[in-house]
Amino acid sequence: MSSSTADPHRAGLQQQPTVPATGSDRGDTRTAPLRLVLVRHGQTTANAKGILDTRPPGRPLTEEGHRQAAELAQRLADEPVVAVYASRALRAQQSAQPIAARHGLATLTLDGVHEVFVGDLEGCQTPEAHRSLHALYHAWHSGDLEAARPGGESGKQVLDRYLADVAAIRSAHRRGTAVLVSHGAAIRLAVVALATNIDGAFAEPRYLANAAMVVLETHATGWRCLRWDKIDLD
């Protein structure tokens, strides 16, 4: 989520967007698992002030955010990255650029992986606003995906768009590592829906800081979470 102080089963997929196969994995028929690295963007000017900023294009990265993005590229330098995706938010695009450049790739933009729209809380930075947002995320992670803020998205709406793009990524790549630069609350909700070994009780209290990563890997029945930020799960 775009605030540094507040972030947060399965829904039906919408029609999948077109995601091009790229580079070394185009036409590959081997069955080695695909890894998906979900990355929260670096720090923004809104994060630094605790402002809820969810509507694209949103605020840019701070100097610290650019440093975090460069560090992410270094951390992923030895991974067999076959594609780098990002939401349409400016902060995600800026965070993805060093990763893509390190691997000689262009950043591919996906329309469905942006942050949760928070409706009437947009632009707020009060403790009350953050508590209200945490209450919404608690409802979602407890199973009430219809809950929403006035003018905002329900959990089901978030999953409908987000999971469609993840399904398209999986269809486009049979092996290697795909990187998706996205947003904290959306990542947490999506991983609960995707990973067979993660549930809402695990995800809700485990906030993803700026530049944190969650690593998923495909298996026969879906996805498994291998790592949640600093926690190894496999």
pLDDT of residue 31: 57
Torsion sign (Cα): 140, 145, 148, 154: positive
78 CB-near residues (< 8 Å, 6+ apart): none
pLDDT of residue 1: 42
Q: Which tens digit of pLDDT belongs to each residue from 6-42?
A: 333 333 323 334 444 444 444 343 457 999 999 999 9
Amino acid sitting at position 116: V
Strand-strand pairing, 176-182 and 81-86: parallel
Matching residue, tokens 């694209």: 56
pLDDT at 200 over 50: yes
Q: What average pLDDT does the segment 169-177 reach?
A: 96
Q: What is the pLDDT of residues 33-91, one digit of tens each?
A: 999 999 999 999 999 999 999 999 999 999 999 999 999 999 999 999 999 999 999 99
**CA gap 229, 83 in Å, rounded:** 21
Q: Which two tokens stand for residue 43?
A: 């720090």
Q: What is the pTM of this model?
A: 0.87
pLDDT band at 221 (very low <50, low <70, confident <90, very high): confident
Half-sphere exposure of 27 (CA within 13 A, CB side): 2
Q: Minimal CA–CA distance to 62: which of 33, 94, 40? A: 94
Number of separate helices (H) and strands (E) present in the chain: 7, 7
Contact indicator for 18, 160 with CB cutoff of 8 Å: no
Is the domain spanning 32-232 CATH 3.40.50.300? The answer is no
Q: Compute the average pLDDT of residues 213-225.
A: 95
Output the pLDDT for position 52.
Answer: 98
Quick one: pLDDT band at residue 231, thresholds 50, 70, 90? very high
Q: Can you list the alpha helix ranges (DSSP code H) found in the chain?
A: 45-49, 63-75, 90-102, 127-141, 155-172, 184-194, 200-203
Report the pLDDT value the prediction gives residue 28, as an integer from 0 to 100: 44
Q: What is the mean pLDDT of residues 226-231?
A: 97
The CA distance from 165 to 122, in Å, is 24
| Overall residue count recorded for the chain in this entry | 234
DSSP H or E segment with residue 195 = none
Q: In terms of DSSP bridges, do strands 231-232 and 213-219 run parallel, antiparallel, or are they unpaired?
A: unpaired
Residue pair 114/85 in contact (Cβ under 8 Å)? The answer is: no
Q: What is the pLDDT of residues 118-138, one digit of tens each?
A: 999 999 999 999 999 999 999
> Residues 141-164: pLDDT tens digits?
999 999 999 999 999 999 999 999
pLDDT at 148: 99
Q: Does the pLDDT value for residue 217 go beyond 90?
A: yes
